[in-house]
Structure 1
Amino acid sequence: MSRSSSKDIDPADPEQREVGQGLLDEEMGPSGSMAHLYRGEIHRMRFWRERLDRTTNWAIIVIAAILTWSFSSPTNPHYVLLLGGGILITLLVFEARRYRGYDIWRSRMRTLQKNVFAYGLDPSQGLEDQNWRAELSSDYRQPQLKITMEEAIAHRLRRVYLPLLTIVLGAWVIRITAYADIPVPASAAIGDAPGFLVIAIVVISFGALLFIAVRPRTWYAETELKDEDLRERQDS
C-alpha cells in the first residue's frame, strides 16, 4: 500500500494532523517527547565519550609499557621510543575521528540545554539562538560532521596527546644523551640513517603537531569546558 502524500492530509481531521505540530512551542515545558529526545542524545553522547576514553587508555598503557621497557636496560635501542610516538600519533588520528562523531551528539545536547532547559529555568535571559529549532531540525534530517579533522586533532592534542608526546620526546632525549656511550648526534642514528637526520625529523614532526595544537583558529566544536578566550563564537 502506498503512503499518502502531504496533499491528501486534511488539517481538520485530528487523526491526520501533522506529526509534531506544536510539540516544541515555547510555552511547552521540557517534558514528554522533549525529555525522551534529550535522554536519547545524552545516551549517544555518553557512548561516544566512552569510545574516546577507551582510545586514551590504550595510548597511556602503550606508552607506559614502552617507557618501562626502554629504560630497563642500557642496551635497549632508543628508537623504540620513537616507535611509541608513532603509535601515539596513530591513536591520535583514530581518536580525532571519534571526536568528530562525539561532537555531533554533544552539539545537539548543548542546543537543547541552552535553548530549552536554560530558557525554561530563566526566560528573562532570552534564547541563546533564535534559529535553534530550524538548525536542529536540519541536523536531524541530514546529520553532518560539524568540525574539521584538524580541529578535532587540535582538541585531542590539547587535552591528552601533546603532554604524552612531550613525555616521550623528553624520554628519547634522555635516552640518546645520558644513556648513550657516544655523543649526540651520532647516538640518535638508526641503522644507516644519520643521527642529525633522525633528530631533524623528530623536531619537525613535533613542531608540526605543536603548531596544529596552538595556532589561532575559530573553534566550531560546541562549548567545551575550557577558558573562554580559547574559543571564538562561530560567525552567523
Structure 2
Amino acid sequence: MVAYRTRLDTTTNWTVVTSAGLITFSLGNAAVPHYVLLMAMFLILLFLVIEARRYRFYELIRQRVRLLEAGFYAEVLGKESMDWITPLHQSLLHPRLPISLLQALAVRLRNAYLGILLMVYLTWGLKHYLLGKSLLDSARIGVLPGWAVLSLLALIFLVLLGLAVFHSVPEED
C-alpha cells in the first residue's frame, strides 16, 4: 500500500512542481507568451491521466489489503470472518481493476487536480490582465482567434468539472 501511495504522491508532486515553475516563469517576464500556461494545463492533464491509471492499481491493492484485514486478522483474533480466501485468491489469479478510468479521473480531479488546474487558469487570466489588452485580443494564438482559445479552455474546464462533480465513484469499504 505504501509503495502504491508513494507512486500517486510522486505524480501529484510532479504536477505541483511543473505548475509552479511554469507559473513563475510566465509571470516573471512580460515577454513570455501566455500559451506557456496553456502548455502547463496540458501537462497537468497528462499527469492526471498517468495518476488515474496508477490510482486504478492502487484501488486493486487496497481491496486486497482490506480482504486481508477483514479476514486474516479477524481469524487470528478468534472472530468469525467472511470467506476472504476465495476472493483474494481470485484477485491474485485474475486481477480486475475495481474502478474504471473515468472513476479514477473523477477521484483524482476531486482530490488534487481541479485545484491545481484552477490555479493555472487564474494565473492565465492574470497574465492577460497584466498585458492590459482585451482578453479576446490577447488570448489569440497564431491564426487561432482569442474567442476560439477561450471557448476551448472553458469547454475543457467544464468537462473536467462535470466529470469530478457528477461521475459516480465507488463507496469505500
Instruction: Give yes or no for TM over 0.5.
Output: yes
User: Is 2:46 aligned against 1:90?
Assistant: yes
Q: How far apart, in 2, do the equivalents of 1:75 and 1:117 lie?
A: 62
Does residue 149 of structure 1 match 2:105? no
In 1, Cα distance between equivalents of 2:12 and 2:169:
25
Question: What corresponds to 1:48 in structure 2?
Answer: 4
Question: What is the aligned partner in structure 2 of residue 15 from structure 1?
Answer: none
Which whole-Å CA distance do the structure 1 matches of 2:122 and 2:92 have between them? 46
Specify which of 13, 28, 31 is matched with residue 72 of structure 1: 28
TM-score when normalising by structure 1? 0.68
Paired position in structure 2 for 1:164: 116
Per mean C-alpha deviation after superposition, the further-off stretch among 206-215 and 133-142 is 133-142
Structure-2 separation of matches of 1:89 and 1:118 = 42
Alignment of 1:101-140 (within 5 A): 101-118=57-74, 123=79, 127=81, 130-140=82-92
> How far does the alpha carbon of each residue in 1:44-98 deviate from its partner, in whole angstroms, 9 at most, with x for none?
x222221111111111111110010111122221111111000000011111111
Specify whether residues 120 and 214 from structure 1 end up closer, same or farther in structure 2 by C-alpha distance, changes over 3 A only.
farther
Instruction: Tell me whether 1:207 sits opposite 2:163 in the alignment.
Output: no
Gaps of 5+ in 2: none
The alignment covers a number of residue pairs equal to 173
- Report the counterpart of residue 146 of structure 2 in structure 1: 195
The equivalent of 2:170 in structure 1 is 219
Whichever residue aligns with residue 91 of structure 2, its letter is: D
Give the TM-score of the pair, scaled to structure 2: 0.91
Q: Distance in 1 between matches of 2:37 and 2:151?
A: 16
- AA aligned to 2:62 is R
- Structure whose alpha-carbon radius of gyration is higher: 1
What percentage of residue pairs aligned between the two structures are identical? 35
CA distance 1:192–1:122, change in 2 (3 Å): farther
Structure 1, unmatched stretches of 5+, are 1-44, 224-236
* Structure (1/2) with the larger helix percentage: 2
Whole-angstrom CA distance in 2 between matches of 1:122 and 1:170? 56
Query: For the residues of structure 2 that align with 1:189 and 1:67, how far apart are their CA atoms?
Result: 19
Q: Distance in 1 between matches of 2:121 and 2:145?
A: 18
Distance in 2 (alpha carbons) for counterparts of 1:187 and 1:131: 63
Aligned-residue Cα RMSD (Å) equals 1.9
**Higher RCO structure, 1 or 2 (CA under 8 Å, sep 6+):** 2
Corresponding residue of 2:15: 59
